Structure 1
Amino acid sequence: MKVPFSPPFIDQDVINEVLSTLESGWITSGPKVKALEEEVCKLTSVSHTVCVNSWTSGAILVLKWFGVKEGDEVIVPAYTYSATALAVIHCGATPVMVDINEDFTVDTSKIEQAITNKTKVIMPVDIAGWPCDYDAINELVNAPSRIKVFNPESEKQKQLGRILVISDAAHSIGATYKGLQSGNLTDITIFSFHAVKNITTAEGGAICLNLPESFNNDEEYKLMKLFTLNGQNKDAFTKSQAGGWKYDILFAGLKVNMPDICAAIGLAQIRKYNDLLLVERERVARRYQNFFSQYSFFQLPILEDKERKSCFHLYALRINSISEEKRDLIIESVTKTGVSVNVHFIPMPMLTVFKDRGYKIEDFPIAYDNYSREISLPIYPQLTDDEVDYICTAILTSYKKVIQSND
């Protein structure tokens, strides 16, 4: 049996939505993007969403909007995909990495220790669709002692008056924390709509605005929309209307807008997300839980507790008392059965671009421990129960094969 890791969900509704875009004669940013923004707002209960062409470009846009520059610091977990820190580097600032908790969420106590008068932003990451402890993070940035050391330099920083919290929710659309949807938990949330995500636009992302009362979210939405189009005061759709050719460039923006042809895919998916796609992902995750809970040598991911519920983006299985080398042998064995698995993630300090900047994995022991024992299993709506059972058997058999051959 061949089981791919994460194929996109493409049904007839997706195909029809894309075809309608092609037939409309309008494929770049236009009405489909606006409709997707409205659907994200509806799902998350935020007032404004800006769609962009990737999570990474969305993060760069927000950091630049906030005035993050050379000499500034942005606190990020060491355990995340490289884009979290690369976005900071692209703005000229320094990513300050901190360790994580055993459940993959960033360690708030480490954040507190890392804050300096150069800290402009904290960017927690919801690994696998599991939300961070946002109350603790939000309380931290609003503490009088932390506000006192905040050194605002840009107009937006002075307007906020404290460290900005950006949720890296690339994995967590549809997750909940204390009854609130992801997207509605921090000042700004950025989702990813990459091909492997719960909702995809092939490539894409969305910025959800939840700024405090000192901001007019409607005005910030309009500003960020300009930012996605090189700072141009008219989008291509407006310019195409009769007499609408004349435009101005108001500031040095970016070119990171999402096109309608991509938005169409996500639009068809998000309309059935809560009632179908999320339900089916949970079915797969619960079936894994039922199987792996029988064995003490597996460490299961948390799917739900009294405060949080995952959106089941990844099933991050860990294996107790095993080395990185043995984990790799297990993956090799599983792959031979036709099952594609993955690892999320290689901690950033282990990657050349960050090692060359002086980051050391030895400074992040929990991040390394989680990584060294983790295997991400396939989880998507199209998986049948028989396929899930086959994956479970492949993991168990490969585990026993590797452990027994090394005993």
Structure 2
Amino acid sequence: MKIMANRMDRGFFRYQKEFEDRALEVLRSGWYVLGNQVKSFEEEFAAYTGGGYCVGLASGLDALWIAFRVLGIGPGDEVIVQGNTYIASVMGITMNGATPVFVEPDEYFNIDTEKIEEKITKRTKAILAVHLYGQASKMDAVTELAHKYGLKVVEDCAQSHGACFHGQMTGTFGDVGCFSFYPSKNIGAFGDGGAVVVKDEKLAEDFRIFRNYGSEKRYYNKIVGANSRLDELQAGLLRVRLNHADECEEERRQIAERYLRELKNPELMLPKLREGATAVWHQFVIRTSRREELISYLNDREIGTIIHYPIPPHLSEAYKGLGYERGAFPITEQYADEVLSIPMYNGMTDEEQGYVIEALNGF
């Protein structure tokens, strides 16, 4: 039996007619940019998150860098972020000329909120909370520190569509919630796409202007903006995804619960769930000090895996200019050496789950 680490075709075939009908609807409409599909998706996604206003953008990275730009964060400013995130989180900071200040993660793979305050300086302007792998961060502590020091809060929700902390959905705690709709995400498009969610109507309008060349009215440009628009076709298809978000989330939760219940191998460290937080299981990430051996063992059994992520941003070639050496963030680096994402996708059969469990228990 061959099992991929992730596959998206089953999510399409399950709702194939709905996707195809919506695609034809958009194609036949003759309106392909910033039309009724984008407007409807923005309204529906805002309602889904409870965040107030949603503005569709071209990608998750655009959501991040444009968020910091619109918030006025740039050269000379510092943004606190966890060290073990995907590099796009950091790029959202540095593309504006600001400096990332790294904090070690906690045992749930999210930012260790007890280590944030010691990193705050006069130059600190924001905290970027990343809800990694689909579990909500400890947002009460993040927002408390932000209020204490007058900081902005940006949330990277690329992997946490639907995840909640104490009943409140990620993306709605801070000033801006940034979402990616890359095809592999829990609510994924069929190409690139992203969005921001904000509570402030004026801020939402600032994003709408910025995404469209800085234009509030066609050919009248208020600012130097960007071309970052969620297109009509992707918005229409995302509306179908959104209609089935809850049932797809529940399916992933059931797979994760089976993994947690039946995986029993002392060589493997299973993910932990934070009290008060929910996980939507964008990834099911285990840890092992024998990762390369385990990958080879699983490859022999045609079970795919992915490492999220093998090189932390502070050690990447892209950020060698920051001057960090190995050992600067030992917990971040240990996670990078040990984490492994095992198969997790909608449409994964009971037989496939059992095969993965049996193989991992036999390692």
- TM-score band by shorter chain is over 0.9
Match of 1:260 among 227, 232, 256: 232
- For 1:300, which of 270, 279, 284 is the aligned residue? 270
Q: CA deviation at 1:72?
A: 1.1
Whichever residue aligns with residue 62 of structure 2, its letter is S
Q: Retained in 2: the 8 A contact 1:33–1:51?
A: yes
* Cα deviation, residue 113, structure 1: 1.0
Equivalent residue letter for 2:188: T
Rg larger in structure: 1
How far apart are residue 90 of structure 1 and its match?
A: 0.8
CA contact 2:65–2:92 (8 Å) conserved in 1: yes
Could you tell me how far 1:340 is from its partner in structure 2?
Answer: 1.5
Shift of 1:28: 2.1
For 1:2 and 1:16, how far apart are their aligned partners in 2? 32
For 2:5 and 2:327, the matched residues in 1 are separated by 30
Unaligned 5+ segments in structure 2 are: none
Residues of 1 paired with 2:203 and 2:188: CA distance?
25
Q: CA deviation at 1:67?
A: 1.2
Asked if residue 99 in structure 1 is aligned to residue 95 in structure 2, the reply is no
Identity %: 29
Q: 1:273 Cα shift?
A: 0.7
Equivalent position of 1:317 in the other structure = 286
Matches within 5 A, 1:341-360: 341-346=305-310, 347-360=312-325
- Kindly state the Cα deviation for residue 91 of structure 1 after the two structures are TM-superposed: 0.5
What does 1:2-401 correspond to in 2, within 5 Å?
A: 2-8=2-8, 9-10=11-12, 11-12=15-16, 13-143=18-148, 146=149, 162-201=150-189, 202-210=191-199, 217-234=200-217, 247-274=219-246, 276-292=247-263, 294-303=264-273, 305-319=274-288, 322=289, 326-346=290-310, 347-397=312-362, 400=363
- Name the SS for the 2:54 alignment partner: strand
Residues of 1 paired with 2:108 and 2:86: CA distance? 16
Distance in 1 (CA, whole Å) between partners of 2:315 and 2:202 is: 41
CA shift for structure 1 position 349: 2.0
Match for 2:347: what amino acid? Q
Report the TM-score, using the length of structure 2 for normalisation: 0.94
1:56-95 CA distance string (max 9 Å, x none)? 1011111111111111111111101001111111111111
Letter in 2 for 1:329: E
Contact 1:102-1:370 within 8 A present in 2 as well: no
How many Å separate the matches in 2 of 1:131 and 1:99?
A: 16
Taking structure 1 as the reference length, the TM-score comes to: 0.84
Q: Is the CA contact (8 Å cut-off) linking 2:156 and 2:177 kept in structure 1?
A: yes
Give structure 1 regions of 4+ aligned residues with deviation exceeding 6 angstroms. none
Give, in whole Å, the separation in 1 of the partners of 2:260 and 2:269. 10
Query: How far, CA to CA, are the matches of 2:320 and 2:356 in structure 1?
Result: 35
SS in 2 for 1:167: strand
Secondary structure, counterpart of 1:317 in structure 2:
strand
Q: Distance in 2 between matches of 1:396 and 1:372?
A: 21
- One-letter amino acid matched to 2:66: L
Q: What are the ranges of 5 or more consecutive residues in structure 1 without an aligned counterpart? A: 147-161, 211-216, 235-245, 401-407
Change (3 A) 1:350 1:393: farther
